[in-house]
């Protein structure tokens, strides 16, 4: 996997250390440098960043400055970066629960750091970036605890009022804290899930057949059929009943086509 790293830092010594470490380890990595929050946002919006490397203290002349943390928290609000690994580093010793941070994609490095320390934490973040790209889990939190549900176990997902229910294999169900279907589909992008109504997302692996005339989907291991919405049904029919002759410019599968 190619990897783009964005480093937000004003100290040249840290930039050089990162560049030297990357070149000796993964020469194919691309590094973007930014010396201000504005520049960092601009790069992050134009490029697809896989790892953020952020100096907590961006203004050495301002006592108590933690503007790097501000950028980190703001970039987390951008949908495509809400699970992207973020490495924070600082010359000030901070008391942090590092195991908890790494669980949710945050890493911390105390400066000055050696090339070995930098390489080790980059390796952790890189593994996190790979898992982020190929994550086999739907992740959610309940009462401060992070839960992981294998997407291979999810047959379909139901939206009932303000509740989201995962219908799993072996007739199991898991109710998770509310998420919009747009957010869920984004997490499952490229994993074979598609939306068939305002209330249902199905896993294509478990589809037994689709009855467009009566507007329902029969799933494996589930007795009750799942209804297809009228509007979405038209797009589904077009997608699943394409001509066998290849089009000159065929449309790629896009999970977002069934968001509305």
In this structure, the answer to whether residues 170 and 113 fall within a common structural domain is no
Give percent of the chain with pLDDT exceeding 70.
Answer: 81
For residue range 35-44, list pLDDT tens digits in order: 899 999 999 9
Grouping H, G, I as helix, E, B as strand and the rest as coil, residue 31 is: strand
Cα–Cα distance for residue pair 109/94, rounded to 1 Å: 10
Alpha helix locations (H) across 134-222? 181-187
Among 101, 133, 165, residue at a domain's last position: 133
Is the CB of residue 35 less than 8 Å from the CB of residue 62?
Answer: no
How sure is the predictor about 91, in pLDDT bands with cuts at 50, 70 and 90? low
Residue 214 belongs to domain with CATH number: 2.40.50.1020
Over residues 164-185, mean pLDDT = 88
- What is the 8-class DSSP label of residue 233? H
Among 95, 114, 133, residue at a domain's last position: 133
Residue 98: what pLDDT?
Answer: 46
Note the Cα 5 to chain centre separation in Å: 16
How sure is the predictor about 32, in pLDDT bands with cuts at 50, 70 and 90? very high
Among 97, 113, 133, residue at a domain's last position: 133
pLDDT at 18 over 90: no
How sure is the predictor about 129, in pLDDT bands with cuts at 50, 70 and 90? confident
Cα–Cα distance for residue pair 168/150, rounded to 1 Å: 9
In this structure, the answer to whether residues 101 and 37 fall within a common structural domain is yes
Between 106 and 3, the higher pLDDT residue: 3
Residue 23 belongs to domain with CATH number: 3.40.50.2300
Length of the chain, in residues: 260
Q: Are strands 163-168 and 154-160 parallel, antiparallel or unpaired?
A: antiparallel
Quick one: the chain helix, strand, coil %, rounded to 5?
35, 30, 35
In this structure, the answer to whether residues 58 and 77 fall within a common structural domain is yes
In this structure, the answer to whether residues 89 and 162 fall within a common structural domain is no
Over residues 131-142, mean pLDDT = 65
Residue 90: what pLDDT?
Answer: 79
For residue range 64-89, list pLDDT tens digits in order: 778 888 898 888 888 788 778 888 88
In this structure, the answer to whether residues 75 and 167 fall within a common structural domain is no
Mean model confidence pLDDT for the chain:
79
Over residues 160-187, mean pLDDT = 87
In this structure, the answer to whether residues 20 and 85 fall within a common structural domain is yes
For residue range 199-246, list pLDDT tens digits in order: 999 999 999 999 999 999 999 888 889 999 988 888 888 877 755 444
In this structure, the answer to whether residues 48 and 149 fall within a common structural domain is no
Alpha carbon separation from 116 to 21, 22, 88, 112, 164 (Å, rounded)? 8, 11, 16, 12, 44
For residue range 114-127, list pLDDT tens digits in order: 778 888 888 888 87
Containing domain of residue 184, as a range?
138-258
Cα–Cα distance for residue pair 178/106, rounded to 1 Å: 24
Q: Select from 219, 213, 214 the least CA-distant residue to 201.
A: 219
Identify each DSSP E strand in the chain by its residue range: 4-8, 30-34, 51-55, 86-90, 106-110, 137-142, 145-150, 154-160, 163-168, 173-176, 193-197, 200-203, 207-211, 216-219, 226-227
Over residues 21-29, mean pLDDT = 75
pTM of the entire predicted model: 0.52
In this structure, the answer to whether residues 124 and 9 fall within a common structural domain is yes
In this structure, the answer to whether residues 168 and 230 fall within a common structural domain is yes
Cis ω before 112 (30° cut-off from 0): yes
Q: Please give the tally of structural domains in the chain.
A: 2
For residue range 95-112, list pLDDT tens digits in order: 444 444 444 567 888 777
In this structure, the answer to whether residues 233 and 144 fall within a common structural domain is yes
In this structure, the answer to whether residues 80 and 172 fall within a common structural domain is no
In this structure, the answer to whether residues 221 and 245 fall within a common structural domain is yes
């Amino acid at each position: 996997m190619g990897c783009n790293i964005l480093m937000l830092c004003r100290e040249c010594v840290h930039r050089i250390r990162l560049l030297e470490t990357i070149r000796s380890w993964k020469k194919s990595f691309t590094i973007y440098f930014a010396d201000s929050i504005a520049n960092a946002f601009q790069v992050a919006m134009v490029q697809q960043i896989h790892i953020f490397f952020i100096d907590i203290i961006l203004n050495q002349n301002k006592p108590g400055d933690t503007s790097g943390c501000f950028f980190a928290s703001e970039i987390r609000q951008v949908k495509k970066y809400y699970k992207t690994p973020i490495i924070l580093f600082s010359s000030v010793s901070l008391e942090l629960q590092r195991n908890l941070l790494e669980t949710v994609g945050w890493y911390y490095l105390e400066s000055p750091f050696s090339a070995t320390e930098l390489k080790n934490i980059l390796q952790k973040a890189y593994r996190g970036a790979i898992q982020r790209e190929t994550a086999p889990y739907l992740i959610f939190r309940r009462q401060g605890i992070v839960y992981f549900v294998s997407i291979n176990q999810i047959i379909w997902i139901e939206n009932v009022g303000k509740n989201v229910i995962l219908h799993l294999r072996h007739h199991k169900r898991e109710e998770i804290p509310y998420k919009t279907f747009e957010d869920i589909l984004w997490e499952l992008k490229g994993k074979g899930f598609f939306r068939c109504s305002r209330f249902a997302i199905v896993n294509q692996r478990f589809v037994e057949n689709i009855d467009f005339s009566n507007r329902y989907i029969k799933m494996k291991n589930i007795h009750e059929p799942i209804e297809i919405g009228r509007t979405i049904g038209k797009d589904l029919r077009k997608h699943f009943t394409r001509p066998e002759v290849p089009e000159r410019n065929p449309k790629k599968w896009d999970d977002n086509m069934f968001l509305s």
